Structure 1
Amino acid sequence: MVEKRALAFFALASVFFGGVFVAAKAGQAYFPPLLFVALRFDVAAAVLLGYAAVTTAREDLLPRTRGDVAGILATGVLAIGLANGLLFVGQQYVSSAVGSIIFSLSPIFTPLLAAFLLSDERLSRRGTVGVLVGLLGVAFVVGVNPENLLGGGVVGKAIILGSAASAALGSVLIHRADGTLSSTVRTAWALPVSALMVHGMSLGAGESLSAVSWTPAAFAALVYVSVFAGAVAYIAYFGLLDQVGAIRASLVFYVSPVVATLGGWALLGESISLSTVAGFGVIFAGFAILGSEDSEGWLPEFVARLPTGGSSKVLTDGGRDTECRTGCDAD
């Protein structure tokens, strides 16, 4: 994740997804939860489909392979639709802090699912340590302890746990599908699928537009979750997924609680404790551990790519440099 594009995607997705917890807390005072999500997808789909139509060649807009269709369905049904529907419903029963740390289990689910469903993604021992250290940091940030995680609100916690599992499974299946569509076009096709699914869930739950209170604050919350935490964040996250894989892209959900905590402090007047500050440091340590494994092979790879002028240095058993020119025996 050293490329500027990947870092930009990571930052955008982390910030905008983190803001969802703050916006959802404010917006659910005006919207029924599933209808809030469905309207979010309606707006995000219109924005992203328009953006894709303007920025993408016509021949690259239509799905052409089974992998394209599979990627659209995995995105629309699991990674976006079900994950967000369950998250917004579950947040009715638990605090933002508890909800954010439970959803942050997604990076734990992702490598477990990838081990079974992907042949090219495995988390090393060092990577596992980094993920677990990052999760510990999230727990510090949101101030959650085992007592209040296991205490009341079991239904809400189970729903959000299902949301995290759905997001992780969707991300792994997108990577497995290996489609030909760009992440932006794939997400643009997926959002209408998500919208239709969640509108159906909303109708089934007995929600209606008459229950919506259309105030300036309601419009602001809807615009944020639809455009910024919707269209823009999805472009960033799924672009990151295509670049770095399911496991590392899922680490966005470690940074999101940090953003949610800072947003709550800045916009809702929530306090930040010393344990929160310590948690930021622990999360950074987790990223440092995870990132360090990517740098192990950079020096040999760099040296191997240096121009040799028709010769290359080979280290013998005795530790001496010997020269092997083109045409040498492979042994």
Structure 2
Amino acid sequence: MKGSSFLTGTRRTLALFTVASVFFGGTFVAAKAGLEFFPPLLFVALRFDIAAVALLGFVAATTPRDELRPRSFGDVVGILATGVFVIGLSNALLFVGQQYVSSGVGSIIFSLNPILTPVFAMVFLANERLSARGAVGMLIGLVGVALVVQVDPSNLLGGDAAWKGVVFLGAAIGALGTVIIRWAETSISSTVRTAWALPVSAALTHSLSLASGESMAMVAWTPSAIAALGYVGIFAGAVAYIAYFGLLDEVGPIHGNLVFYAVPIVATLGGAALLGESISASTFTGFVIIFLGFAVLASESILAEVEAWYDILVSTIQSTN
């Protein structure tokens, strides 16, 4: 069944997972670097401008015209969920929070996405349920994230904890959006849906930027600023979104969002190599625990695949005898 397992063994699924992981991981590094030159919401809005132009051009050149138009209410819901929740608000909150949070820590907090997705799926999706093994994996991951965030009950409304909370809210909104997309059962391809959604995201974040008092006069147009914007617009924007939403269509939101467990590797290594960021012992410990949770989750899918191949092998042997 479509979406029944995370690792289906197909080259396409693994390729989508790899591209989304690498380019999304680079987002946290480029965002942290670019925030020196851009106000956060305007940075996000300009990112979506570039990604929208690139992806709309790609779609127009490669997709038959009759496949470009939304054809149902579900298509419209899927586009709005993508543009407003998964791309727009999720990234706006991430960029605002990452002014005060390192790229590695920000990416690890965002890895809560797979833990939050099943919670929303239980409400919206009758056929997307988490098994006991999956629940254990999610809980292990949650413990790891708690270590990373290092929430101090006496300082919940101030310091780094508040900004980590902003990043967390972005992860939650993104998780909700992916489940709504699945619920909507859109008939258009994920690439076309994303091409329609990016202008929605751009309009939303430009509005938020204007409302917060940001302006183009606040941008410092340096080569580093242009490089950061180009990366988050093209590679972490158009290309990564094609891979990510294609992956969601392949395996569903619960398993597709496990891509965010791989993202912190790229973000942490990139932040250390390019930005000189360090990572504390407790953060590293939390990082390891998060991946232990991922291993528990992935083992369920791998075992299911092994059992399926075993059944096929047994049936083949029996049919030849």
- TM-score bracket, shorter-length normalisation: 0.7 to 0.9
Instruction: Find 1:92's aligned residue among 95, 99, 104.
Output: 99
Instruction: Find 1:302's aligned residue among 292, 309, 312.
Output: 312
In structure 2, the gaps of 5 or more residues are 1-6
**CA distance in structure 1 between the aligned counterparts of 2:175 and 2:320, rounded to whole angstroms:** 48
CA-based RMSD of the aligned residues comes to 2.5
Greater Cα offset, 131-140 or 22-31: 131-140
Measured against aligned partners, the alpha-carbon deviations of 1:213-263 in whole angstroms (never above 9, x if no partner) come to 111000000000000110111011100100111011111122212211100
Measured against aligned partners, the alpha-carbon deviations of 1:27-80 in whole angstroms (never above 9, x if no partner) come to 011111000000000000000011111121111111111111111010001000
Do the aligned residues in 1 keep the contact of 2:152 with 2:161 (CA within 8 Å)?
Answer: no
Looking at both structures, which has the greater relative contact order when contacts are Cα pairs under 8 Å and sequence separation is at least 6? 2
Shift of 1:291: 2.1
**CA distance in structure 2 between the aligned counterparts of 1:92 and 1:272, rounded to whole angstroms:** 17
TM-score normalised to structure 2 length:
0.87
**CA distance in structure 2 between the aligned counterparts of 1:205 and 1:273, rounded to whole angstroms:** 33
Find the residue that maps to 1:230 and give its secondary structure.
Answer: helix
**CA distance in structure 2 between the aligned counterparts of 1:206 and 1:305, rounded to whole angstroms:** 66
Instruction: Find 1:18's aligned residue among 25, 31, 37.
Output: 25
Cα 1:16/1:71, change in 2 over 3 Å: same
Do the aligned residues in 2 keep the contact of 1:41 with 1:194 (CA within 8 Å)?
Answer: yes
**CA distance in structure 2 between the aligned counterparts of 1:230 and 1:159, rounded to whole angstroms:** 21
Correspondence for 1:63: 70
**CA distance in structure 2 between the aligned counterparts of 1:221 and 1:96, rounded to whole angstroms:** 14
Correspondence for 1:133: 140
Find the residue that maps to 1:306 and give its secondary structure.
Answer: helix
Query: Residue type matched to 2:215 in 1?
Result: S
- Between structures 1 and 2, the one with greater helix share: 2
Correspondence for 2:248: 241
Measured against aligned partners, the alpha-carbon deviations of 1:111-149 in whole angstroms (never above 9, x if no partner) come to 000011001111111112223334555667xx5534499
Do the aligned residues in 2 keep the contact of 1:138 with 1:258 (CA within 8 Å)?
Answer: no
Shift of 1:109: 1.3
Instruction: Find 1:264's aligned residue among 244, 265, 271.
Output: 271
Do the aligned residues in 2 keep the contact of 1:40 with 1:222 (CA within 8 Å)?
Answer: yes
**CA distance in structure 2 between the aligned counterparts of 1:263 and 1:26, rounded to whole angstroms:** 11
Find the residue that maps to 2:159 and give its secondary structure.
Answer: coil
Shift of 1:283: 4.7
**Pair 1:254-2:264 in alignment:** no
The 5 Å alignment of 1:24-43 reads 24-43=31-50
Q: Percent identity?
A: 61
Query: Residue type matched to 1:32 in 2?
Result: P
Greater Cα offset, 165-174 or 277-286: 277-286
**Pair 1:104-2:114 in alignment:** no
**CA distance in structure 2 between the aligned counterparts of 1:88 and 1:12, rounded to whole angstroms:** 21
Correspondence for 2:52: 45
**Pair 1:81-2:88 in alignment:** yes
**CA distance in structure 1 between the aligned counterparts of 2:290 and 2:241, rounded to whole angstroms:** 23
In structure 1, the gaps of 5 or more residues are 312-331
**CA distance in structure 1 between the aligned counterparts of 2:285 and 2:105, rounded to whole angstroms:** 18
**CA distance in structure 2 between the aligned counterparts of 1:190 and 1:223, rounded to whole angstroms:** 19
TM-score normalised to structure 1 length:
0.85
Do the aligned residues in 2 keep the contact of 1:93 with 1:155 (CA within 8 Å)?
Answer: no
Shift of 1:309: 5.5
Do the aligned residues in 2 keep the contact of 1:184 with 1:235 (CA within 8 Å)?
Answer: yes
Query: Residue type matched to 2:189 in 1?
Result: S
Instruction: Find 1:201's aligned residue among 203, 208, 233.
Output: 208
Shift of 1:305: 5.3
**CA distance in structure 1 between the aligned counterparts of 2:169 and 2:216, rounded to whole angstroms:** 27
